[in-house]
Amino acid sequence: MRKNTKAKERGTMKKPIKQTPFLLLLSFLLSILKISTAIDIINTTQIFRDGDVLVSSGGRFELGFFSPGSSNNRYVGIWYHKIPNSSAVWVANREIPVRNTSGILKVTESGILVVLNDTNNIIWSSNTSRVAPTPVLQLLDSGNLVLREANDDRPDNFLWQSFDYLSDTSLPGVNIGWNFVTGVESYLSSWKTSDDPARGDFTFHLDPTGYPQLVIKRGPTTLYRLGPWNGLAFSGQTNSVQDMNFRFVFIMNKDKVYHRLEATDSSVISRIILTQSGTMQRWTWVDRIHDWIPYVNFPADNCDTYKLCGAYGSCNIANTPACVCLDKFEPKDPEGWSRSDWTNGCNRRTPLNCLKGDIFLKYSGIKLPDSRNSKYNKSMTLEECKVECVKDCSCMAYTQLNISGEGSGCLFWYEDLIDIRDLSSHGQDIYIRMASSELDSKGKGRKILISSLTAMGVVLLGLSLTLYYRKRKKNCTIWRTEGSRTESHKKDYELPLYRASTISKATNNFSENNKLGQGGYGPVYKGTLEDGQDVAVKRLSKTSMQGLDEFKNEVICIAKLQHRNLVKLLGCCIEGEEKMLIYEYMPNKSLDLILFDQTRSALLDWPKRLQIVNGVARGLMYIHQDSRMRIIHRDLKASNILLDDDMNPKISDFGIARSFGGNETEDKTSRVVGTYGYMSPEYAVHGRFSQKSDVFSFGVLVLEIVIGKRNSGFFHGDQHLNLLGHAWTLYKEEMSLELVDVYLCETANQSEVLRLIHVGLLCVQQCPDDRPSTASVVAMLGNDAALPQANQPGFFVERDVSIGKSITSSCNEMTITQLEAR
């Protein structure tokens, strides 16, 4: 964006003056003391020309004429005063530009704001309905441009405000929604192109029909929907909880309905943009790195596509295909469904029969369906909602209206339920009308989705395994079926088999005191065998179906692996329901317990940390390329690194590891399992895993070991950066040593510290191809050769996955500088 710099040099709103040396000096001094000369207000006698600016009193916003992108057209707009090249947050004459720099902005006697073009024609005007004797125009520090009576600055008494006539940007304090009294709707509309702020294809509204929700539309078509409002957030909005700098406000009464984002910390500069491609993005300015950082995106992923799965279909981005019918529903058009055409949605497998008495089943963890055909009652209890909905045969579902605090009210649906997604922990409950005969069928409707998940893990690899137990055999034996072929062959893993009674005795009958922690699929106990050997026993929870697959997987992966940096499997125990793995015992437990413990971390001096990093790298290199199987661990993290009595690291927990045959190097899964904070973007978002996704986790681990802090939950000042982002910022400024504890700085060899941070950052680069292989990592750690420059890491902003999904999903997609491309 360019302002008219020539005009700007003239200063702000100054009458031409005769240029004597003295006055030149004065004007020079004034231009230095810009703040004192900048004004934020004009009245009807002042004429505002192209080149003049208004600067809000706190210096945050500036109003003037500008040219967007590479265009020469002039527009009146508002932008950030202190941020170079920031695109306009508001534009007055969006549709009709002034062709050259002779445009004028003026407040008329009757209190209307007008933009005049070079021939003095009004090309834009404010819609001011009231008249005032002495109107003035003022740019407020919130970014709101207001017309008001000169001596009346009550915020609710503006004659007109730009916050009611938005462009593509919403700022903290902007109300999006409807004023039913004036009939004015505030909504966002995208720019046509980055050179043309005229209204583009997309709009973002608060839709008050039924019960209010947020929608992004292209023309009249709804593309994405969030909501309805549930008292805390718009249903489906997964990020609000974590967002500490902002809170959502929702106001609804007979005069108005709107929603607003409020900054809890007013120093945070943040804007929400409806982009030219129809997505909502929130960007925050981070002064320290002098750049905009993307923070929230909606739609977050394909599952936010409006009614993607049709009626009673539910979308889960972790599934392949993404759509499934809700439990006890079946595809209306099975053939289309199998072609991934879900538009026809699903039907109840047992038709309703209201006269015979339908029932309501609870479905949990979902984004509530489209509420445009819903009705609400704010005072009823959930029990009363049910009674009401049962009585009315056309009432298809109900839920609690307000889930905040006390929780009250009801929302009723009267048509097919559309646009549902499976959000598990972020989702809500809904009660859906079902035939009474569905009551006895399993699960009482508590389990909501036809879960294709449980089987997924192993099936995907074309491996289907069955555990087989034979009483007299001394080895763990596993039946293994290849692909869909029926012939199966037995696999003997030559592992000693332990009796359940032996293990029970060794662990004091699985006493709580012996419990070491919780593994991927069940508790882990410390045991002492009769011969005095200490062991760690990983016991599969009987209730965990998922666990059985992981259990089998772990046996297969680790039974054949032997390396000093991998935990050693001593044997197994498979007896009826009871399934356990017996490992060597690690007296110093897992790395996280020492590393992230304020007092114990001092036990990890620099040489030990170096030793741990090197050991993990070697263990990883072994499973990646040196072992016979070539394995991707997929869940490398501090709590899966165990330490023996010499503090040698051993990689453990192969429950979700995958082995690669032949020349495969990458695979894809629809079931993303692992630990957020350690997952690479391509894995978390697209389910693609490879050795490079393990390398990413390794990089996170290295940074955690050097810095001594967790990546997830890391918080630094008012920036939204996670540990990776913070490390990268300091690395770019060549201040990496600031990352390290004073204590460590004193004992450590600084060049080694810097090298480790550098290697860590190389491993967490956003693009998998940029990351080194484990063999290169081992080499980098072992010599002093120069390292390549590290590029931007993946997932460097603290946020939850749904946010990350859309933003750092691929290295070729959007980068954080895109905002400035305008």
Ligand X SMILES: *[C@@H]1O[C@H](CO)[C@@H](O)[C@H](O)[C@H]1NC(C)=O
Residues binding ligand X (CB under 6 A): 43-46, 84-85, 99-102, 117-119, 121, 123, 127, 134, 165, 587-588, 594, 603, 645, 662-663, 749, 751-752, 784
CA distances from 558 to 36, 473, 478, 658, 781 (A): 71, 20, 13, 11, 26
How far apart are the C-alpha atoms of 59 and 250, rounded to whole Å? 29
How far apart are the C-alpha atoms of 76 and 222, rounded to whole Å? 31
- State in angstroms the smallest separation of the CB of 164 from ligand X: 9
SS3 198: strand
Measured from each CB, the residue nearest to ligand X is 121
> Residue 579 — φ and ψ, nearest 5°?
-135, 125
Closest to 4 in 3D by CA, of 103, 94, 141: 103
Q: Identify which of residues 594 and 700 has a Cβ nearer to ligand X in the complex.
A: 594
How far apart are the C-alpha atoms of 338 and 335, rounded to whole Å? 5
SS3 807: helix
Residue appearing with tokens 């209206």: 401
Contact 736, 757 (CB under 8 A): yes
The total number of residues written for the chain in this structure: 822
Q: Identify which of residues 118 and 592 has a Cβ nearer to ligand X in the complex.
A: 118
- The half-sphere exposure of 275 on its side-chain side, counting CA atoms within 13 A, is 18
Q: Identify which of residues 118 and 718 has a Cβ nearer to ligand X in the complex.
A: 118
Q: Identify which of residues 120 and 486 has a Cβ nearer to ligand X in the complex.
A: 120
How far apart are the C-alpha atoms of 730 and 14, rounded to whole Å? 44
> Residue 173 — φ and ψ, nearest 5°?
100, -15
- State in angstroms the smallest separation of the CB of 119 from ligand X: 4
CA distances from 230 to 75, 235, 399, 439 (A): 40, 6, 10, 28
- State in angstroms the smallest separation of the CB of 85 from ligand X: 4
How far apart are the C-alpha atoms of 339 and 549, rounded to whole Å? 28
- State in angstroms the smallest separation of the CB of 433 from ligand X: 44
- State in angstroms the smallest separation of the CB of 586 from ligand X: 9
- Is the bond leading into 331 cis (omega within 30 degrees of zero)? no
Residues paired with 262 in a beta bridge: 247
Helix axes 774-782, 750-763, angle to 10 degrees: 170
- State in angstroms the smallest separation of the CB of 589 from ligand X: 8
635 in active site: yes
Q: Identify which of residues 236 and 768 has a Cβ nearer to ligand X in the complex.
A: 768
How far apart are the C-alpha atoms of 190 and 217, rounded to whole Å? 10
Q: Identify which of residues 46 and 276 has a Cβ nearer to ligand X in the complex.
A: 46
SS3 698: helix
Q: Identify which of residues 186 and 792 has a Cβ nearer to ligand X in the complex.
A: 186
How far apart are the C-alpha atoms of 374 and 401, rounded to whole Å? 11
Q: Identify which of residues 142 and 614 has a Cβ nearer to ligand X in the complex.
A: 614
- State in angstroms the smallest separation of the CB of 38 from ligand X: 14
How far apart are the C-alpha atoms of 463 and 659, rounded to whole Å? 11
- State in angstroms the smallest separation of the CB of 542 from ligand X: 33
How far apart are the C-alpha atoms of 709 and 282, rounded to whole Å? 27
Q: Identify which of residues 352 and 593 has a Cβ nearer to ligand X in the complex.
A: 593
How far apart are the C-alpha atoms of 693 and 794, rounded to whole Å? 11
Active-site residue, from 50, 207, 327, 635: 635
- State in angstroms the smallest separation of the CB of 502 from ligand X: 24
Q: Identify which of residues 119 and 513 has a Cβ nearer to ligand X in the complex.
A: 119
- State in angstroms the smallest separation of the CB of 205 from ligand X: 16
SS3 67: strand
How far apart are the C-alpha atoms of 144 and 94, rounded to whole Å? 17
> Residue 291 — φ and ψ, nearest 5°?
-155, 160
- State in angstroms the smallest separation of the CB of 168 from ligand X: 15
How far apart are the C-alpha atoms of 18 and 54, rounded to whole Å? 24
Q: Identify which of residues 506 and 594 has a Cβ nearer to ligand X in the complex.
A: 594
| Amino acid letter for position 426 | H
Contact 567, 652 (CB under 8 A): yes
SS (H, E, C) 22-50: HHHHHHHHHHHCHHHHCCCEEECCCCEEE
Contact 496, 503 (CB under 8 A): no
Angle at 814 between CA 812 and CA 819, to 5 degrees: 150
Active site residues: 635
